[in-house]
């Protein structure tokens, strides 16, 4: 294979120094129109294209950001990633994606001072297996933006919706429909289950606010927020002594699984059991019945995450870590109000 065309080759042909070629290629100032044109011609003639690897080494940066999520095939993340990639591309960044399966070791590897560290200039991270403590114990020089429920300790930005408020709102919606035995599927009463716990808190607040008792036996935990877990939990509830007449699910996938389980028993949604989800993924807009849900502004989350991360990457002195609240809203569909609301 013949040698690649280098900057020096171009410089030689154009009769200038490599410094000047570099200036032209990178669009820096201080180049006469004449030299610029001469260089440009040489570039075209030789078919020169810069070697990214060399540039990376010289600059000490990779031009990549990493986005680390627990599961890629979760529609919520897939939809979010889509927007992140777009936003990053606009700023000239490539996106390295990895999924961790929620494995703490794997997650740690991404924020630790490891050998992969230089592969990306910053990380947008949605942790699942790492608690607050493990998060704090990381490469302090790594620009980091956290998605989901972890509180910022001031050294990174955190972006999420107000989970407590959103969950309260969701639960109130069910209570206001006159439902009396409202269940919750998705609680995770352990260190890494912060997000779930916030939702459970909102669930309780709604009951308090409406002066209704919380049915503790109707709060069900699930290891993950996916369809199978949702179906399993719902089946369990329906097998119980006093099955619920409404369910607040901690994700739309859980809701879809739950609905599947309800219908499988010949019961109706929402007549027998009303179901509300969380995330507003596209599935819920086309399912039968369509799913009432809490809709976070994913576009806002994605663009803000990229924006904040690039700002961090570009700053010599790290900006203070912010707590950012993304907008959200309740979207009412058939799974709580029936076909009446069909548009």
Partner DNA sequence: ATGAAAGCGCTAACAA
Partner DNA sequence: TTGTTAGCGCTTTCAT
Binding site for a copy of itself (CB under 8 A): 1, 47, 49-54, 56-57, 60, 62, 64, 71-73, 75, 78-79, 81-82, 85, 89, 94-99, 113-119, 141, 227, 231, 256-257, 259-260, 263-264, 282-283, 285-289, 342
Judged by beta carbon distances under 5 to 8 A according to partner kind, the member of a copy of itself, DNA, none in contact with residue 34 is DNA
The nearest distance, CB 55 to DNA, in angstroms, is: 4
Cβ-based burial of 133 (10 A; exposed 0-12, middle 13-18, buried ≥19): exposed
Tell me which stretch binds DNA (CB under 7 A): 4-12, 88-96, 217-225, 244-252. 4-12
DSSP 121-142: SEEEE--SS--HHHHHSS-TTS
Tell me which stretch binds DNA (CB under 7 A): 28-36, 64-72, 143-151, 313-321. 28-36
| Cβ within 8 Å of residue 315, ≥6 positions away | none
Does position 151 bind DNA by CB under 7 A? Answer: no
C-alpha torsion angle, residues 6, 7, 13, 18 (rounded to 10): -150
DSSP 267-301: --TTTT-EEE-SS--THHHHSSS--BEEEE-HHHH
The nearest distance, CB 57 to DNA, in angstroms, is: 4
> Please, which residue, 32 or 343, has the CB nearer to DNA?
32
- Which of 1, 2, 27, 32 touches DNA (CB under 7 A)? 32
The nearest distance, CB 256 to a copy of itself, in angstroms, is: 5
- Greatest Cα pair distance in the chain: 88
**Structure tokens, 110:** 């991404």
Does position 40 bind DNA by CB under 7 A? Answer: no
Judged by beta carbon distances under 5 to 8 A according to partner kind, the member of DNA, a copy of itself, none in contact with residue 1 is a copy of itself
Does position 316 bind DNA by CB under 7 A? Answer: no
> Please, which residue, 25 or 97, has the CB nearer to DNA?
25
CA distances to 150, 207, 219, 220 from 188, in Å = 14, 19, 10, 9
d(CA 49, CA 295): 44
In this structure, are residues 178 and 336 in contact, taking their beta carbons and an 8 Å threshold? no
- Which of 12, 40, 51, 94 touches DNA (CB under 7 A)? 51
Judged by beta carbon distances under 5 to 8 A according to partner kind, the member of DNA, a copy of itself, none in contact with residue 19 is DNA
Judged by beta carbon distances under 5 to 8 A according to partner kind, the member of DNA, a copy of itself, none in contact with residue 32 is DNA
d(CA 259, CA 310): 41
Does position 94 bind DNA by CB under 7 A? Answer: no
Does position 26 bind DNA by CB under 7 A? Answer: yes
The nearest distance, CB 50 to DNA, in angstroms, is: 4
The nearest distance, CB 248 to a copy of itself, in angstroms, is: 19
Q: Across the strands, what pairs with 155?
A: none
Does position 319 bind DNA by CB under 7 A? Answer: no
Angle of helix 7-14 relative to helix 18-25, nearest 10 degrees, comes to 110
In this structure, are residues 249 and 269 in contact, taking their beta carbons and an 8 Å threshold? no
Judged by beta carbon distances under 5 to 8 A according to partner kind, the member of DNA, a copy of itself, none in contact with residue 283 is a copy of itself
Kindly list the strands in the beta sheet with 246-249, ordered across the sheet, starting from the edge strand earlier in the chain. 219-221, 182-187, 246-249, 274-276
* Coil vs helix vs strand at 184: strand
- Which of 35, 40, 197, 337 touches DNA (CB under 7 A)? 35
**Structure tokens, 45:** 């003639």
Does position 64 bind DNA by CB under 7 A? Answer: no
Residues that bind DNA (CB under 7 A): 3-4, 6-8, 15-20, 22-23, 25-26, 29-32, 34-36, 48, 50-51, 54-55, 57-60
């Amino acid at each position: 294979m013949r040698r690649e065309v280098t900057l020096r080759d171009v410089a030689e042909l154009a009769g200038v120094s490599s410094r000047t070629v570099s200036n032209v290629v990178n669009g820096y100032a201080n180049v006469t129109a004449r030299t610029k044109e001469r260089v440009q011609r040489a570039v075209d003639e030789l078919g020169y294209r810069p070697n990214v690897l060399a540039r990376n080494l010289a600059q000490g940066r990779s031009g990549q950001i990493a986005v680390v999520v627990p599961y890629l095939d979760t529609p919520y993340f897939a939809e979010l990633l889509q927007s992140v990639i777009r936003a990053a591309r606009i700023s000239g960044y490539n996106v390295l994606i990895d999924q961790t399966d929620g494995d703490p070791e794997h997650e740690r590897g991404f924020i630790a001072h490891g050998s992969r560290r230089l592969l990306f200039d910053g990380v947008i991270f949605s942790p699942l297996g790492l608690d607050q403590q493990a998060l704090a114990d990381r490469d302090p020089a790594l620009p980091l933006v956290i998605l989901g429920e972890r509180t910022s300790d001031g050294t990174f930005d955190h972006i999420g919706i107000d989970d407590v408020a959103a969950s309260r709102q969701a639960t109130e919606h069910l209570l206001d429909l006159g439902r009396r035995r409202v269940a919750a599927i998705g609680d995770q009463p352990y260190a890494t289950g912060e997000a779930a716990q916030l939702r459970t808190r909102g669930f309780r607040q709604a009951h308090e606010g409406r002066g209704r008792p919380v049915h503790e036996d109707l709060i069900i935990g699930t290891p993950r927020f996916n369809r199978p877990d949702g179906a399993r939990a719902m089946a369990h509830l329906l097998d119980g002594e006093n099955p619920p007449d409404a369910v607040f699910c901690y994700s739309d996938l859980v809701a879809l699984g739950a609905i599947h389980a309800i219908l499988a028993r010949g019961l109706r949604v929402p007549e027998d059991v009303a179901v509300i989800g969380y995330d507003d993924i596209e599935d819920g807009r086309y399912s039968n019945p369509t799913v009432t849900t809490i809709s976070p502004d994913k576009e806002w989350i994605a663009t803000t995450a990229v924006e904040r991360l690039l700002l961090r990457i570009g700053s010599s002195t790290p900006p203070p870590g912010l707590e950012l609240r993304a907008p959200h809203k309740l979207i009412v569909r058939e799974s709580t109000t029936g076909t009446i609301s069909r548009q």
